[in-house]
Amino acid sequence: MRIDIITLFPDFFSSPLDSGLIARALRNQLAEVNLVNPRDFTEDKHHRVDDEPYGGGVGMLLKPEPIYAAVESLKMLPKKEIILMSPQGEPLNQNILKDLAINYEHLIIICGHYEGVDERVRHLATREISLGDFVLTCGEIPALALLNGTIRLLPGCVGKKESLKRESFETELLDYPQYTRPPVFRGLEVPSVLRSGNHQAIKEWRENQQIERTRDRRRDLWEKWQQNRQS
């Protein structure tokens, strides 16, 4: 998969791209990430990428010309998605990440900044995605979340494919509690069933824990799970 990130701050991604799972995926050529700065496509001597909004208002907007030029400079692959990171987009979830990882070979991610982007940039995007119902100072943070969540789903990225199937949100249920050594830590004990060696009992305990945890913490997911199970 090729991922091009349109960003005013390429240095933001330096450490994440050189660390952990993403770095390994890039080394193994499971994905390729390119950082493209719209400032390189400005035509004025000050390399200006923002301006005041028409009609007045607080803050500055990113101009459309540099962003369009940056995107249009790319060599597009056939199965592509141009994503604008925006608080007004659809909330990011696991199904979106799976869709991107499975059905696309090229992602172009546009990072907003300041008070946002000129509305005409939205005509360039094929999809708008939000990290949630809150506002951040830049689009690089949600872009990094999308980048990480998508790359880890690519074949060969995570060592054990089975672990991806048992995570939170894969079955509309949260993950079950997990423990490792020591068996007792500061008076908190690992449930005895997990040390019993009874695999069927462990399986049932984990399933029950998933249901109870989702019901208590994410009632919306639990109700959706209930509806799907009944249907």
Return the half-sphere exposure (C-beta side, CA atoms, 13 A cut-off) of residue 31.
28
Q: Where in the chain is the domain with CATH 1.10.1270.20?
A: 166-230
Band (162; pLDDT cuts 50, 70, 90): low
Provide the H-helix boundaries in the chain.
14-17, 20-27, 64-72, 94-103, 140-151, 161-165, 199-217, 219-230
User: What is the spatial distance between Cα 181 and Cα 91, in angstroms, rounded to a whole number?
Assistant: 37
Class of domain 2-151: alpha beta
Tokens of 36: 């493209």
Q: What is the pLDDT of residue 58?
A: 85
First to last CA, the chain: 36
pLDDT higher than threshold 60 for residue 204? yes
Q: Is 126 helix (H, G, I), strand (E, B) or coil?
A: coil
What was the pLDDT predicted at 57?
86
Neighbouring C-beta atoms of residue 230, cutoff 10 Å: 6
Please check whether residue 94 is in contact with residue 105, taking contact to mean a CB–CB distance below 8 angstroms: no
Q: List where CATH 3.40.1280.10 sits in the chain.
A: 2-151
The predicted pLDDT at position 145 comes to 97
Per CATH, is 166-230 categorized as 3.30.160.60?
A: no
Q: What is the mean pLDDT of the chain?
A: 94
* The pLDDT of residue 114: 82
- Work out the percent of the chain whose per-residue pLDDT is above 70: 95
What per-residue confidence (pLDDT) applies to 164? 61
Least-confidence region, from 9-13, 124-128, 135-139, 191-195: 135-139
CA 169 to chain centre: 14
User: CB–CB of 109/159 below 8 Å?
Assistant: no
pLDDT single digits (tens) 87-126? 999 999 999 999 999 999 999 999 998 889 999 999 999 9
Residue 2 · residue 26 · CB < 8 Å: no
CA atoms within 13 A on the CB side of 86: 19
Q: What is the pLDDT of residue 231?
A: 83
* 129 Ramachandran zone, left/alpha/beta (phi>0; psi -120 to 50): beta
Residue 160: pLDDT above 60?
Answer: no
